[in-house]
Structure 1
Amino acid sequence: MNAESLKRKGYYAVLWLTSLLFFAPVAWIVMSSFKTRNDILAVPPKLIFSPTFDNYLDLLDRNTSFVLQFANSVVLSLSAVVIAVVVSFLAAFCFSRFKPKGTNFLMFILLSIRMLPAPAVILPVYLMYANFGWKDSHIALILFYAMFSIPFSVWILKGFLDGVSVRFDETGLVNGGSWLHVIFRVVLPQLKPGLIAAFIFNMIFVWNEFLFNFIVGGVSTQNIPYALAVGTYSDGGLNWTFIATLTTIYIIPPIVFIYLFQKYLLAGMTFGTVRGEV
């Protein structure tokens, strides 16, 4: 075995070890969802046990709001992110192609919105929603999540648009196409990686959002993070079976999305800079 082969195997061993280290908490919570309460609290921890589905049945039987909360998470996330991606694409096209004065400063201001911690803006947002009667409204909450998702999406999509040559625009216009034709029929199909990356990044943000849903939302807009927060304690202690079961169900959609579209996430994290002009 030569040095190069040994070095490569050591490199992969470190990667596997790191991956398993980060995956261990996820594996533990999934395993715990199939354990009884006594098995979860056993010392030393039980790695070999008799799996049970009672925790999942109890979740559906006792938590009558679970289906509504899960549906809210899906509806709020998908609706807000779709709106954000559509608006962000049009804004990014303007910044990339027409380059209005102060574009760099405007992009900085947009990204600065995401730098603000949520507790810093929750009070004015709550007062605004309360005065306008928007509390406990799906539409109002969707628009808020969309607004908060737009800045990051604009940054991602502008990076991809800068990599698409303006010759495509010019060719479409010269051949009699309108700007709408150029935007949606010529340029948009080339932004599939950027659109998917923006969608998934913002989907994860909205999917995991708790504070605004808890303060600005209400009974009809409760999502899964809300359910985890209010259902953590039961019978004078932590309800580990509830936490493990609900968490296991909750992480499935993001894992599926990330697995299916993982190749686009790398491009999204580099804001499209891995692409040259095409």
Structure 2
Amino acid sequence: MNGRGFRQHLYYAALWLVALFFFAPVAWIVLSSFKTREQILAVPPKLIFVPTLANYTDLLSRQGLLLQVFNSIFLSVVAVCVAVVVSFLAAFCFSRFKPKGTDFLMFLLLSIRMLPGPAVILPVYLMYAGFGWKDNHFWLVMFYAMFSIPFSVWILKGFLDGVSVRFDETGLVNGGSWFHVIFRVVMPQVKPGLIAAFIFNMIFVWNEFLFNFIIGGVSTQNIPYALAVGTYSDGGVNWTFIASMTTIYVIPPILFIYFFQKYLLVGMTFGTVRGEV
């Protein structure tokens, strides 16, 4: 083996070590979900044990669990779909028509995401309580969509800037409407950006706890809410519940990232590495 081949193997070995290091906590949680409470707390830790499904049996028998899982899926998917559609149309406007003050408007949009959640929770709570919007799926979806739109606009505008305006002109000259140009000509070319925006915001909404806890309610509780309120039971930390619930909780994001990882890598560049096509 020559020097170059050795360095390449060493490089990949280092990548595997880093990946395993960061995956170790997730693997430990998954293994713990098949242990009893005594095995989880054993010192030294037990790596060889007889797995049990009792934790998942107890978890599935908990009242309200299916509703919380449904709420997490429903709120995430619907809110992000709304956000991506609105963001795509807004990004198309910014990219093609360049209204006056576009740069300032783009900065203003991004500044919304610069604010930490606790800084705006009070006015949001007062507004939702005043209008009677608390514990309502529709208004919670609208809130999550509002928070997801700014980041999506930034991603999609970068991709749209990389699509030549000649496609628009050709479609219009040949009798196509703006609807046809936007959705049949331009949108298929920015599919990686749409998927990247969807996944990035899906992860944000999927993990969101604070606003669901404050402006949500019994009928809109999600999985992070269930984890927060179910952590302690019988005078101590319910480790079996935490392990089994967390394992179920991390499966959808892992699957999304695995199957669409190439779009995430493209989305991280915000489309800026693309030339005009």
Q: Give the TM-score, by structure 2 length.
A: 0.99
- Partners of 1:71 and 1:160 in 2: how far apart? 33
Per-residue CA distance 1:21-54 (angstroms, 9 max, x = gap) = 0000000000000001110000000011000001
Deviation of the 1:274 alpha carbon? 2.6
SS of 2:163's equivalent in the other structure is coil
1:90-139 CA deviation, whole Å, 9 max, x = no partner? 00000000011111111111011001000000000000000000000000
SS in 2 for 1:274: coil
Alignment pair present for 1:164 and 2:171 = no
Give the length in aligned residue pairs. Answer: 277
Superposed CA offset, 1:176-233 (max 9, x none): 1111110011001111100000000000000000000000000000000000000001
Q: CA RMSD in A?
A: 0.6
User: Which residue of 2 is the match for residue 19 of structure 1?
Assistant: 19
- 2:2 match: 2
Residue 51 of structure 1 aligns to a residue in which SS?
A: coil
Measured in 2, the distance between the counterparts of 1:52 and 1:106 equals: 55
Q: Tell me the distance in 2 between the aligned counterparts of 1:102 and 1:32.
A: 54
Gaps in structure 1 of 5+ consecutive residues:
none
Q: 1:38: which partner in 2? A: 38
Partners of 2:121 and 2:97 lie apart in 1 by 35
CA distance in 2, matches of 1:73, 1:274: 34
SS at match of 1:44: coil
Mapping of residues 177-192 of structure 1, within 5 Å:
177-192=176-191
Matched residue type, 1:53: L
Q: Which residue of 2 aligns with 1:253?
A: 252
Counterpart position of 1:144: 143
1:52 counterpart SS class? coil
Name the SS of the counterpart of 2:99 in structure 1: coil
Amino acid at match of 1:30: V
Counterpart of 2:63 in structure 1 is 64
Structure 1, 117-126 or 232-241: larger mean CA deviation: 232-241
Q: Which residue of 2 aligns with 1:55?
A: 55
Aligned residue identity for 1:105: F
User: What secondary structure is seen at the aligned counterpart in 2 of 1:112?
Assistant: helix
Question: Partner of 1:263 in structure 2?
Answer: 262
In the alignment, the residues of structure 1 paired with residue 274 and residue 26 of structure 2 have an alpha-carbon distance, to the nearest angstrom, of: 34
Partner of 1:221: 220
Q: CA deviation at 1:257?
A: 0.8
Residue in structure 2 matched with residue 84 of structure 1 by the alignment: 83
User: Displaced runs of 4+ in structure 1, greater than 2 A?
Assistant: none
Written as runs of structure 1 = structure 2, the 5 A alignment for 1:91-106 is 91-106=90-105
Q: Quick one: which amino acid aligns to residue 41 of structure 2?
A: L
Give 2:99's aligned amino acid. P
Q: Supply the distance in 1 between the matched residues of 2:248 and 2:194 (Cα, whole angstroms).
A: 26
State the secondary structure of the residue aligned to 1:85: helix
Q: Please report how far the alpha carbon of residue 234 of structure 1 lies from its aligned counterpart in structure 2 after TM superposition.
A: 1.0
Paired with 2:77 and 2:139, the residues of 1 have a C-alpha distance of 14
Indicate the residue corresponding to 2:232 in structure 1.
Answer: 233
- TM-score, normalization by structure 1: 0.99
